[in-house]
Each structure stands twice: as C-alpha cells, then as structure tokens.
Amino acid sequence: MDNGADFIRDALIEVHAATGAPWRVPSRSTINRVLARHDLLERNPAKRPRSSFRRFVYARPRDCYQIDATNVRLADGSLAAVFDVLDDCTRTLVGCHATSAETAEGAVTAIRQAFDEYGTPAIVLSDNGTAFTSRLTRPGSISTFVQCLLDHNVRPINSSPYHPQTCGKVERHHQTLKKWLSTHPAPATRAELQNLLDVYRRYYNTQRRHSALPRRATPAQAWTHAPSLGGPASLPMQTDATLHRCLVGSTGAITVAGHRTSVGTTHAGATITAIRDQSRITIYHQDGQPLGHFHLTPDRTYISLTRAA
C-alpha cells in the first residue's frame, strides 16, 4: 500500500520476465495516469523536491545503527512501545522489539538483538530520550543503555536536542511500520504484536524495495552485496562527512581538521568524538552527549566552541 509508480513498475518487470507475457511493461507516467484515474494517488504539490536534499549516509553496513521507539495501540486501547533499530547505510531493520513502555530495559533488549543477529556497529545514534541517556535525569552519570554500548566497544552518539532530523531515517521508518500495521487487525497482546513485528521485519528487509537505495534494492540485497562491513574496530566511513576521535590535552584543547578548540580541562585525558559535516564540527562526549559545535574558518586556527544547550 506504500508503493508508488516506480515500485509498481519494478514488480511488473519481474512478472513480465518470469511469465514471458505478450504485453509491454508500461512507463512510470502511464502507471501514474492509471492510479490517478482510479483516485489512488496522494498528491503533495508543496512537498520539497528530492533533489534539494543533502542526504547524510554512512558508507558501510554496521558503520552506524539508529535506534528510536514509537507507540503502537493494542486492541484494548492500551499502548505498547516498539523499538526500531535501523542500519544507516542499507536501511536494514536489524532489530524490532515490542515492550510495555519506552524504557532503558527495552532499548537494551532491542540493541542486543541487533548485535546478536547482525553484529556490533561502530556507533549507535539515538535521541535524548530517557531510555537512551540519563543526561536530563542524572547529569554526569552513564545510563544503562550507554553502558551496554560501551561494554561492546560501540561509541554512543545522541542527536541534537529538539532536532529529530538527526535520527531522520529511523523516525521516517516509524511511518512505514505503522502504515503496514494498519492493514492488519490490532494485536490483543504484546506477544501478538511481536509476532506481527517479526513478519513485518522479514517483509521489510527481504521483499520491500527501498527508494533510498541504489536501483531500489531491498535492504537485504544492499547488505549482502556491500563490499565490506564496519564495526567497532574501524572508524565509520562517509562520503559527505568524516568522524574523528580526539584525545583532549591537559589544557582542554583538541585539534580537528587543522583547527583547535577547547572543550574544557574537565575533559582532559578523555577521548571524545568529532563529526565534520562540511564546515561544521560537532563535538560529542564519550557517553554520546553533544558538547558543542564550531564552524571552520580558513583564516583562523583557534575557534571558540559554541556549547550545547
């Protein structure tokens, strides 16, 4: 139900090749006209054109997993939480776990499922929810979820507060999941919901083509045909950004891309993470919390850090 003209044409090409039917595969524009004739098109004239987006994508599977939770309503009206874990590069749904609420225990179960089935990534990206970080409830402490990542040598990264676009891939995936669930009767229990999620994950990974992948491949195809895998032993690879691990000096200074900034002497001796996205450098603490950012200025070697709110 979430397939547009491109995906319908892909399916017709497969049917045509398998059956040797005498008909010709219609063009994308013809398919759109047929859908419009039957009032099956969702028109979005104000939608931002895809060509205007600058997509941040890691280059290898297991370079980065994104995790987030969303609520699903059961048949009796009560809510359950679903933790989705998505591979950034291939969009493979590496984990999908139903639990009673968005808790650290549920997040740990979901991420461990992903680790067991697909291996550990170099970094895990999450938002600032209490299931993932204790920065709001217990400042300075390490949450259960973050400790789980550190135990597996995985670097945690939290998104900027009130900026859901940072975790945009897994946020967008919630829509696809809920659209699929809406075509099935509401589950009566969390166990029934988990059974549905297992069916969905197989469909999503192995059957549903993804518009963000080359040649609209399935996530499983993208993962299988990837030339190499990432992981904790190597830094993530990107085509449009770079990730750096920096040792903080005794004066609290670090150097990124030939420019120096200070994160404070309280972090002296720690290894922190810096992500360079064009001219913007974002600095993260070892527990994943953002420390701040600065913009590269060619005529300056030392630049002050804009602290995270």
Q: What is the pLDDT of residues 37-80, one digit of tens each?
A: 888 877 765 554 554 444 567 888 999 999 999 999 999 999 99
Return the pLDDT at 275. Answer: 82
Domain definitions of the chain by residue range: 5-47, 64-224, 242-307
**229 Ramachandran zone, left/alpha/beta (phi>0; psi -120 to 50):** beta
Q: How far apart are CA 277 and CA 50, in angstroms?
A: 20
Does residue 276 sit in helix, strand or coil? strand
Q: Does pLDDT of 165 surpass 90?
A: no
- Element at 220 (helix H, strand E): helix 219-224
Confidence of residue 22 (pLDDT cuts 50, 70, 90): confident
Q: What percent of the chain has pLDDT over 70?
A: 88
Q: What is the pLDDT of residues 120-158, one digit of tens each?
A: 999 999 887 888 887 655 666 788 999 999 999 998 888
Q: What is the pLDDT of residues 194-239, one digit of tens each?
A: 999 999 999 999 988 877 777 778 899 999 998 888 888 877 776 6
Confidence of residue 99 (pLDDT cuts 50, 70, 90): very high
Q: What is the pTM of this model?
A: 0.69
The CATH class given to the 64-224 domain equals alpha beta
Residue 238 neighbours by CB under 8 Å, 6+ apart:
56, 57, 58, 59, 63
Return the pLDDT at 47. Answer: 56
Topology match between the domains 64-224 and 242-307: no
Q: Which residues of 86-112 are buried (b: 16+ CB within 10 A; e: fewer)?
A: bbbbbbbbbbbbbbeebbbebbbbbbb
Q: What is the pLDDT of residues 83-93, one digit of tens each?
A: 999 999 899 99
Look-up of token digits 């939770």 = 69
Q: Which fold has domain 242-307?
A: SH3 type barrels. (2.30.30)
* Mean pLDDT of the region 170-178: 89
Look-up of token digits 């491109």 = 6
